[in-house]
Chain A
Amino acid sequence: MNAIIFSAVWGIVMMFSGVLSNNKKTIQATAIVGLILLFIVNLLDLGGNHFINIDLHNMLYFETFGLLFNAIAFGASLLYFLLSSSDILKVGVNGAEYFALIFFVLCGVSIVTSFNTLLMLFLGIEIISIPLYILTGADKRDLKSNEASLKYFLMGAFSTGLMLLGITFLYGATANGSFFLDDIAAAKTSLSPLYIIGLLLLLVSMSFKVSAAPFHFWTPDVYDGAPTVFTSFMATIVKAAVFIAFIRLFGDAFGDTIQRWQIFVAIIIAATLFIGNITAVFQQSVKRMLAYSSIAQAGFMLFALLTLNTFAKEGIILYTAAYSIATIGIFAVLIKMKDYSFEGFNGLAKHHPTIAAVTTIFLLSLAGIPLTAGFFAKYYMLAAALQTGKFLWLVIFAVLCAAISVYYYFRIIQAMYFKEGEPQVLETTLSFRVVLIVLSIIIILLGIFPQWLINQIYYLYL
């Protein structure tokens, strides 16, 4: 509860900071301070210190799983701000508003990690989506940004419509007409057509939001068209949050009927992995490649939805952390590049050895090489699936796709280390490089001792 209120309030503070001050440094500092405070109040919540006690009529339910994810989302946002906040201000003239919108998105994130009724889920998803439509189109003079924004809005609105329809059906399927997850879980005994249609509609609309195939078509265009700083935010923190919502929804409301919808998820996973990885291979722009890579990674994250066992719940936290940190790092480097094509990275290791080294660690993590967080993230997903003992074909398909992913991640490494060139890189500050090094150290530590993060879940949640 602390985080929801604080992020909303600080969003308003950010809006006014733009009115009160024209100094970019002040705005930047306000945003970073706000995020640090947000991180702290969320930790206090985890520790049992609630600022406000309102009777929520059980509409929101705060458990450690969600709060822990909040901590990861806010921590990742903090790193994101430290790396890229000056680039956010460069996107357009309304610097303070961009920060305000990001805080509103974070407010939505803390709602979708704690909803207990479908209404709150809907509200949270919308609070996340609407600021993102604006951020995507933030670069007003760029036609591609405008196009991306419109496309995102239309597709997003459509999937929201489907979600609403699904919620309505489920409302009808419950005994006395209720939006609460418990009541929907209780409706499984009847298994009416209403229930099944509602479930499928929710599956489709949530798949839209996490860009799972075949509902992914908006993703490459939107990620490519949006200003790169905001792509970074959308592809990591937001996407991870929607995943948590997805898993909470299906775990709590439909967990008992998993046998009936599991096969649909399996098909979605196979399609997502296949399309994401194969298409990423053919990209010429690193930014677009990362868009497809985020689809491919979503395929792996969906394994948690497929299995819903303890392995999966532990794993999804680790996966979102590993994926977000690595992707934020790569995007932060990409923003500094003048040429977004693979050739733009040629010879980077010679001219900027530190940046090349940390980027390599991020890429190795995304590819799932041992000693990086990405390996254990994938490990947990595969172990979760193998524990069910049913989806061996899917697991083998997934590791073959992971092998394909090495191709496009390593293209960047090859360009940086083994090819000659004069990369055009914008000025980077010392603090920027230090934060990048911190990110890569976190990745390696999580790759050797993933237990630290997992233990947090064990002690607090299980």
Chain B
Amino acid sequence: MKRPHKILQFATLIWRQELHSITTSPSVLLVILGGVVFYALLYNLLYRPNVVHDAPIVVVDESHSHISRELIKRIDASPSASISGSVATLNDGYELLETEQAQAILYFPHDFAKQIGRAGKATLILQPNTTSFLYYEATAGAVIDATLSLAEEYRREKMWMLPQDVVIKLANSPTPQLIGNVLFNPNKGYADYLIPPVLILIIFQTMTMAITMTHSGQAARHTTPTIGLARSYGKRALEVGCRALFYTALYGLLSLFLLATIPQIFNLPHTANALTIIAFLIPFLIATSLFAQAFARLFRGGEDGLLFITFFSVGLIFLSGISFPLQQIPQPWHTLHYLLPATVGIRGYVGIGTMGAALSDISPQIWLLLVQSSIYFLIATFTGKRDG
């Protein structure tokens, strides 16, 4: 009876000290509350437009024809692109492209419309800028869609080029329907794609920062309780475990805001039920809190750790494999993907949150988080100076 009582007493003391060190440090409070609330709101507001609209296209129309004007009208009417103006020459267009006043040039050659009445094909030339992939997709998509719809209408006018039996055959063989279906992110929205991973990244980054600020090197030795239990690795293990539980509970509460409220407010993809999210979140939060404690062992002062955390947050998105296929990331980085709770967590959360995966579908991620937890628990326990 005596030992469990001491363990509970020790755990309570650790939790009280954690609460005290967080609530009395403005910088840690700023990181946890400011980071979670500010980042979550800010990134959602930033990406709220969700899709690219009115990507500017400049026109060089040498044909001055009814067909070119009709095409320009249809492109301008599309939500993703707009005609920003017209210039006399391609060189004028390139200048606008280089200064980002336009994102694509639409060029109609002088004989563009004449080809409709002849045996030729009316071909326009689109020169999109590719420095922004989203602008490229917006401009190319709008022009291709408008061109295909107008081509369909002008097909009749070309039938004179074919013998009658071929025309009859074509008339009896309607064009096969091609149906592209977008899953999970029906608006093809950038916020719907990026915000779920960012929410996981916010948890990972703010927790790692907070734990590093309060528990690296000297700071940790000042705050470790010394009562009751023997000065041993066992005590250290208990301390690491208690701290992990504290941060798991704290971020469990914050996740109510991040992963339940925020997706509702901003209408993000939100396909998982509460139990599935909780089942994923527990190993993720434990792995992150243990990773952060192991990471904090590398540094002597809180700010030292900060130097090394922030710069890499952007890189974690690339390492998660959601923007570029994980299979094609070179092996050393591919291996690093499996070692970090953030990258594995992003894939797991996108699976259940955006794609409606069941827990069994993300079991590889859950297992990885559990393995990571074990590794980082051992590192946090057996590295650095023992207390006392």
- Do chains A and B stick together as partners? no
Q: Which residues of A contact B (CB under 8 A)?
A: none
